[in-house]
Amino acid sequence: WLQGWGCEPFLCWCTWRGAAASKLEVSMPAVVEVERGGTARIECNFYIPGNDSYTYIQWFYIERNNRVQLCRVMGSEILEENTDYKGRLRVGKDNALSISRVTMQDTRTFICQVEAGSHGMGENRTELRVYKVPEAPEITAISGGVSVQSSEIPQIAQCVSRNSFPLPNITWYKNGEKLQLEEKKVKILSTVTRESSGLYTVGSTLFARVTREDRKSFYHCTVHYWLQGQRHAVESRRVNVTVFYPAQHVKLQVMPSSALVKEGDNVKLVCEADGNPAPVFSFYKRELDDSWQDLSSLADSNSGVLNLHDVRKSSSGLYRCQTLDLDDMRQLEKDVELVVNYIEGVHVKMEPSSPLQEGDSVRLSCDAHSPVALDYQWRDEKGKKVAEGNQLFLSNLTFETASNFSCKVIAPSVPGLEQSKEVAVAVQGKPRIVAISSPLYVRQDEVVNLTCKAIAFPRPSLHWNVNGTAHEYVENQHIASNLTVRVNHDLLRAGAMCRVSNSLGASEKHIQLLDQKTPESKGVIIVAIIVCILVVAVLGSVIYFLHKKGKIPCGRAGKQDITKPEARKDKIVVEVKSDKLSEEAGLLQGANGEKRPAADQ
């Protein structure tokens, strides 16, 4: 009649089945699990032969191997005893016992006893298990770091999980793989604390040997616990520990690359070692006598950087970085060659080197020295590139083409490495007057400016044959003078003379002054022009009107010469005379002798 045991997700039941049972039977789940603070429900099912009624049902719990009565159920009446459960008990219509606000102390065995008169008495029991899911584990890595050379197994991390029931256990993992106890390599120490609440706090400390590869390893712990017949786990966060290990290799490099270093640059020599912590760095430079100059005072011994500012050609040479591990006093060293690129001895040669005259030709040659290949460019004084290559040929020289030229030397393989050298190409000759204010229209007693501009080399001197206030300006090979004078009768008659001279000769030019009349005649001419324009307009209108009226035939037979009409009574003749036209023609010119355009006249 007893068919077997069955397990549900939350209750493990002891079931009874029988087709022809002959006595009272009581069935209850073997185990009921409930989380702390929740409500536990314990069912009590029974079978009475003949489907008779029960007399009463009693509930007990076991404490220290003694039964303690909780309540008695008689029909619809429930009699509750004065126990710690008073106020937390309830018996449902299905005779199931419910206990609210369960605590860890409620973890015990409960008994359901059924009295059925002549059928006797039957009972069964259930173990109530109260659980509390553990809190997520807290992991703390060792703060000071661990050494691969430690004589004892170093501590890696600690793990703590609080407030759980029943007692859980902790396991350790490195890079996702479970760690097993291993003599002299892996050791785990565990602690268990029972809190006043009845919950457990568990702790675990991991000790393990490390290698230099473990600098990238991550550790974590996992708390495992059982709940409702299934195993569960809660993982901690991953932590990495600082691993100390001696250096095995050292690297020394020039920044920027040695191939790109030029004079005037700031250079860093960076020394790196693969140890942790970084060793102590020292720097040296080999001298010509093969001795080593200590440069450690110029470097940061902790960071391994040697700064060289404004390097010169003499900074080139062999540099050495030396490391010292303070744990085992082991030394490593590395050398690097520093090459400082430069351009020196830039020289420009001019052929012929004798003084140049207008119309001559000259060849400029540029040369320089550098450990790298060089390119040459020629630029004028405005910075415009005029040629490439180390030679520049200039022909048919004049004062105007004379200039300062520069040879720009460039190292294409080293960005920014360049030098320039300037040379002056001076063309000698006697002065040549290039601009003068003549003729100049003036009036009596008027204050005017006389201008004279010349070009020459060597620098000339400029003189006037009349008295006045002179202002002289010099720009490159040009010289200009403005003379301020008051016009008198003698000046108007004789004019002025500008003379420019240097050691190679002299040039002079005459400035002609013309008398300019009063402006009244200019107004008469303008009025006469306006009147003529109006007369022509009226004449055109009359001819158009006569043509429309048919007075002037347009056929071949009636064609007339209107440019030379015969004298008639309706003939319109306009004639403008002026005795002063010839005298006043000069009024249409500028005050200083500049002629106005025809449109202005």
Strand, helix or coil for residue 104: helix
How far is residue 58 from each of residues 99, 150, 326, measured CA to CA in Å?
A: 15, 67, 79
Asked if residue 540 is part of any domain, the answer here is: no
Residue 353: band (very low, low, confident or very high) from pLDDT cuts 50, 70, 90: confident
The pTM score is: 0.53
Position 599 in a domain: no
Give the confidence band of 529 by pLDDT, cuts at 50, 70, 90: confident
Identify whether residues 114 and 139 lie together within a single domain: no
In a domain, 287, yes or no: yes
User: Is the domain of 39 the same as that of 125?
Assistant: yes
Q: Is residue 437's pLDDT more than 80?
A: yes
Q: Is residue 298 part of a domain?
A: yes
In the predicted structure, residue 342 carries a pLDDT above the cut 80: yes
240 lies in the same domain as 144: yes
Predicted pLDDT of residue 591: 35
Residues 61 and 88 in one domain: yes
- DSSP symbols for 487-503: --HHHHHH-EEEEEEET
Of the chain, the end-to-end C-alpha distance in Å amounts to 143
565-592 residue pLDDT tens:
333 333 333 232 333 333 333 333 333 3
Residue 316: is its pLDDT beyond 50?
Answer: yes
* Most trustworthy range by pLDDT among 3-12, 386-395, 550-559: 386-395
**What CATH code is carried by the domain that includes residue 85?**
2.60.40.10
More confident position, 292 or 541:
292
Find the mean pLDDT for residues 465-469: 91
Residue 449 included in any domain = yes
Could you tell me the CA-to-CA distances from 405 to 145, 174, 200, 377, 397 in Å, in that order? Answer: 68, 74, 93, 10, 14
* Sheet (strand 186-194) strand order: 138-141, 155-164, 200-208, 186-194
Are 411 and 434 contained in the same domain? Answer: no
Task: In whole angstroms, give the CA distance from residue 571 to residue 548.
Answer: 18
Confidence of residue 478 (pLDDT cuts 50, 70, 90): confident
Same-domain pairing of 326 and 281: yes
Residue 418 shares a structural domain with residue 387? yes
Q: Is residue 538 part of a domain?
A: no
Domain total of the chain: 5
Look at residue 530 and tell me if it is in a domain.
no
Residues 357 and 439 occupy one common structural domain:
no
- Residue 108 and residue 59 in one domain: yes
- Four-residue CA torsion sign, 275, 279, 285, 286: negative
pLDDT at 525: 66
Q: Whole domain around residue 331: which residue ranges? A: 252-338
Domain boundary (224, 244, 264) is at 244
Among 316, 338, 360, the domain-final residue is 338
The pLDDT score that the predictor gives to residue 229 is 78
Same domain, 45 and 79: yes
- On the question of pLDDT at 138 being above 80, the answer is yes
Q: Is the Cβ–Cβ distance between 235 and 226 less than 8 Å?
A: no
Region 432-447: mean pLDDT is: 90
Instruction: State mean pLDDT over 322-340.
Output: 89
In a domain, residue 393? The reply is yes
pLDDT in tens, 57-97: 999 999 999 999 999 998 888 888 888 898 899 998 888 99
Domain identity same for 139 and 231: yes
Mean pLDDT of 389-410: 88
Of the candidates 250, 254, 271, 276, the residue with the CA atom closest to the CA atom of residue 331: 250
User: According to the model, what pLDDT value does residue 166 have?
Assistant: 87
pLDDT of residue 581: 33
Choice among 19-33, 38-52, 200-214, 248-262 with the minimum mean pLDDT: 19-33
Looking at the predicted structure, is the pLDDT value of residue 265 above 90? yes
Note the pLDDT of residue 522. 57
304 and 357 part of one domain: no
Domain boundary among the residues 473, 489, 515 is at: 515
Distances (CA, A) of 56 to 26, 31, 123, 532: 13, 24, 12, 148
* Upstream peptide bond of 279 is cis (omega within 30 degrees of 0): no
Give the CA dihedral 370, 373, 377, 381, nearest 10 degrees. -20
Whether 494 shows a pLDDT value over 70: the answer reads: yes
Please answer whether residues 247 and 273 qualify as being in contact, where contact means their C-beta atoms are separated by less than 8 angstroms: yes
